[in-house]
Amino acid sequence: MFKSARSILDDKLALIGLSTIIILLVIAICAPSVSPYDPMKINLQERLSPPSLEHPMGTDDLGRDYLSRIIYGTRISMTAAALITMISLIIGLIVGTASGYFGGIVDETLMRIVDIMLAFPSLIITIAIAGILGPTFENLIIAMTVTGWVGYSRLIRSSVLLVKEQDFVVSSKAIGCSDLRVVFDHIVPNAIAPIVVLATLDMGNVILGLCGMSFLGLGAQPPTPEWGSMLEAGKPFMESMPTLMIFPGLMIMITVMAFNFLGDGLRDALDPRIKAKVEI
């Protein structure tokens, strides 16, 4: 682990990714104190003003300070992505552990369901569910969770299968531990660690999905300062005030890129085979 930490620090791209994520998290947590204005405060006197010292990113069509809205957008995207990832992981953990630990008919049934879910193009299902439930941000989170847990349950299942055969699990069963105790004390902690790391890194893609859906109008609705819906709202002013569409898009890209940078670095660091090749 120490070695991986070292090689992450050596990898400049990964380091950039990590620092960006930390900065974004700080911005998200401190949104009320770092944003210069109230993101919802309408000021029709200052509609569509270009970037200036007072409003570093200008104002939108209702005179709201764009920088403040972008900052609150960080908070919304990060929270929603974390929520989706967490709920997906919990469902994936329950299904994957049950499937891997009990095997047999439980495994067969659960994995057939997973197969069916994987056979759907996930974007279409997300759109359909979010749209039919009604376009709100909460429903979008539900829709993305419905498709999100599937992949994790597969990963966790195979991880559980590996851990299950190890001596400490076999011996704890031999001394008469209950199934519940074996699962929660021995299997889950050992099977889930690498997957939690991967899931965190996948948050970039979750944010991409969230903003895409909101852009389509199937997620956060105006006036919520969410990047995707801000981009959509800025679209009509593309010619007169292109900054309205440039800043939210830039923020989405920076965020997703930061997660990808770190993810790439981490995968390289955790995969000793690729490192071996470098040394040759």
Partner 1 sequence: MNSYIIKRMLAAVPVMIGISLLSYSLLYISPGDPAEILLRLQLGTVNPDAAAVEAFRAEHGLNDPIYIQYGNWLGNVLKGDMGRSFRTGRPVIEEFFARFPLTFQLVLIAEILALLIAVPLGIVSSSMHNSVVDHILRFFALIGVSMPSFWLGLLLIFFISLHLRLIPVLSYGSSMSLVLPITTLCIGSAASIMRLTRASMLEVLRQNYIRTARAKGVNEVQVIWHHAFRNALIPVITIFGIHLGHLAGGTVIVETIFSWPGVGRFLVDSIYARDFPVIQGFVFLISLIFLLISLSIDIAYSVFDPRIRYDVPKLER
Subset of residues 42 to 61 that bind partner 1, contact rule: CB under 8 A: none
Here's the x/- map for partner 1, 206-235, by CB under 8 A: it reads as --x--xx--xxxx---------x--x---x
Residue 238 touches partner 1, criterion: CB under 8 A: yes
Give the binding-site size for partner 1 (rule: CB under 8 A).
50
Q: Of all residues in the chain, what percent are helix, strand and coil, respectively (each to 5)?
A: 80, 0, 20
Binds partner 1 (CB under 8 A): choice among 129, 140, 156, 199: 129
Query: What tokens does 2 get?
Result: 């120490």
Reduce the DSSP state of residue 139 to 3 states and report it. Answer: helix
Binds partner 1 (CB under 8 A): choice among 112, 171, 179, 193: 112
Binds partner 1 (CB under 8 A): choice among 23, 86, 90, 128: 128
Q: Cα-flanking dihedrals φ and ψ of residue 251, to 5°?
A: -65, -40
Q: How far apart are CA 199 and CA 164, in angstroms?
A: 22
Q: Give the DSSP per-residue string, 64-105.
A: -BHHHHHHHHHHHHHHHHHHHHHHHHHHHHHHHHHHHHH-HH
Q: Are 31 and 42 in contact (CB under 8 A)?
A: no
On the 0-12 / 13-18 / 19+ scale of CB atoms within 10 A, 43 is middle
Subset of residues 192 to 211 that bind partner 1, contact rule: CB under 8 A: 204, 208, 211
Q: Are 18 and 260 in contact (CB under 8 A)?
A: no
Candidates 58-66, 68-76, 148-156, 242-250; binding stretch for partner 1 (CB under 8 A): 242-250
Residue 257 touches partner 1, criterion: CB under 8 A: yes
Residue 125 touches partner 1, criterion: CB under 8 A: yes
Candidates 42-50, 63-71, 107-115, 174-182; binding stretch for partner 1 (CB under 8 A): 107-115
Binds partner 1 (CB under 8 A): choice among 29, 48, 87, 127: 127
> DSSP E strands: which ranges in the chain?
none
Q: How far apart are CA 188 and CA 191, in angstroms?
A: 5
Residue 180 touches partner 1, criterion: CB under 8 A: no
Residue 132 touches partner 1, criterion: CB under 8 A: yes
Interface residues with partner 1 (CB under 8 A)? Answer: 13, 112-113, 115-116, 119-121, 123-125, 127-129, 131-134, 161, 204, 208, 211-212, 215-218, 228, 231, 235, 238-239, 242, 245-246, 248-249, 252-253, 256-257, 260-261, 264, 273-274, 276-278, 280
